[in-house]
Amino acid sequence: MRWMLHKLLPLLVLSCLLTGCWDRVELNDRAVILGWGMDKEQDGQYLASAMIFIPQSNNNNSDGDLASLSKHFEVFTGKGRSIMEAANQIQPKLSRTIFAGNRRMIVIGESMARDGLSNILDEYSRNKDVRLRTDMIIVEKGTALSLLKMVYPLEDSPATGALKIHENTGGLADKAMVYFLQAINDPGKSPTLPQLSLSSKEQSQKQEMQMTGIAVFDNNLKMKYKLNVDETHSFFWLTKKINKFSITVPIKEKGVINVDMHRLSSKIAVKLVDGKPQFEVKLKGDVMIVENETALHLDQMEDFRKVKEALNLKCKTDMEAFLHHIQQEKTDVVGFNGYIHRKYPRTWRKMEPTWGPDFAHASIKVQANMTLRQIGLTGTSIENEEDPD
């Protein structure tokens, strides 16, 4: 009998805990949040909105076909003086327990972003349900609520839509939060977040959303200004987050050429001259011409060279414009500080406290060296061929 006891003891103890199940929540008792929005109202109150999945039973559907489910979402909001208060207002409105483990999109209204994100981030990085792979997006001149409430026809929810738009325009969508946190933890580097804008579709009530650039934050996590789409491309190029995009290259007195650029790479070198950092940016990439609106004969060396020069110039000026902009704003979004840090760790320690203003005066030289790989199937533009230029 002792032998039996010996084996049964653990089972007995375990069954004493049968009364447990503290954490068991049936799936049907969870309100799955897929997108989260934070806004600051004009009266100074915070507005939290949660986009919650409304499961629709498919039992009436005779096929029992899971794929044909219509997905349905509803936005619930909460208002409060502080962010937590606003967030806590949501649960009382729900018959099910909030579950944020699958929240992959955090939308922030511009007013909120300008007010500062430091309060939000703490919760987002402390909550153990939430993953680091989360996308964060700023709604330009709009509210997070309006984005979450819109109907996006391509995807099942606007949150997914925004995520995929972000993904498609070159950013690594679900790494947005990690990049943001990394920049925060890197003194000297300014954090950035992608920006979307909402616009009304013509002749209809429906809204559209569009990627419009990057919002730049200062070290207090307050949004300072935005970079437009071209600047964003340059930014991504420099930080190696994108490896292809298309631009239109104007050619002196001849018109424009549209090109696809891919296999983009960039190199930043730094040296100290009289204790001041000097950066040299080298841009490289392969170019494919997709449209030639000029009369240039691309199969001829001379014209070819002209195009290439114009192309290099365009890349260089775009990049310089971007760098000029961020230097003016004294925000080092690219992480030039890291290059000094890695190469001159000792000097960097002295430079670190004043890096913001120092960055504004640092000299940055840009060199572009693009390679024209393909000119398409025709050498010259068909319509301009007979043009006696």
Site of interaction with other proteins (CB under 8 A)? 1, 3-4, 6-7, 9-10, 13-14, 17-18, 20-28, 30, 32, 34, 53, 55-59, 62, 64, 66, 69, 71, 99, 101-102, 104, 125, 128-129, 131-133, 174, 178, 181-182, 184-186, 338, 341-343, 345-346, 349
Q: Which is nearer to other proteins, 55 or 116 (CB)?
A: 55
Q: Which is nearer to other proteins, 44 or 345 (CB)?
A: 345
Q: How far is the CB of 1 from other proteins (least distance, A)?
A: 7
Q: How far is the CB of 290 from other proteins (least distance, A)?
A: 30
Q: Whose CA is closest to 268, among 185, 331, 342, 330?
A: 342
Torsion angles phi and psi, residue 220, rounded to 5: -90, 10
Q: How far is the CB of 301 from other proteins (least distance, A)?
A: 40
Distances from the Cα of 208 to the Cα of 51, 145, 153, 197, angstroms: 18, 14, 10, 8
Q: How far is the CB of 198 from other proteins (least distance, A)?
A: 24
Q: Which is nearer to other proteins, 9 or 269 (CB)?
A: 9
User: Which residues neighbour 54 within 8 Å (Cβ) at sequence distance 6 or greater?
Assistant: 72, 73, 74
d(CA 192, CA 136): 10
Q: Whose CA is closest to 135, among 40, 211, 186?
A: 211
Q: Which is nearer to other proteins, 34 or 214 (CB)?
A: 34
Q: Which is nearer to other proteins, 130 or 259 (CB)?
A: 130
97 contacts 31 by C-beta, under 8 angstroms = yes
Q: Which is nearer to other proteins, 14 or 290 (CB)?
A: 14
Token pair for 237: 């190029």
Number of C-alpha atoms within 13 angstroms, CB side, residue 173? Answer: 17
Q: How far is the CB of 35 from other proteins (least distance, A)?
A: 11
Q: Which is nearer to other proteins, 46 or 355 (CB)?
A: 355
Please identify which residue in the block is written with the tokens 């809204």. 207
Q: How far is the CB of 47 from other proteins (least distance, A)?
A: 25
Q: Which is nearer to other proteins, 17 or 273 (CB)?
A: 17
State the burial class of residue 291 (Cβ atoms within 10 Å of its Cβ: 0-12, 13-18, 19+).
middle
- Beta-strand relationship, 244-251 and 255-273: antiparallel
Q: How far is the CB of 345 from other proteins (least distance, A)?
A: 3
User: Which residues neighbour 194 within 8 Å (Cβ) at sequence distance 6 or greater?
Assistant: 136, 137, 138, 166, 169, 171, 176, 211, 213, 214, 215
Q: How far is the CB of 202 from other proteins (least distance, A)?
A: 33
Q: Whose CA is closest to 235, among 320, 159, 307, 173?
A: 320
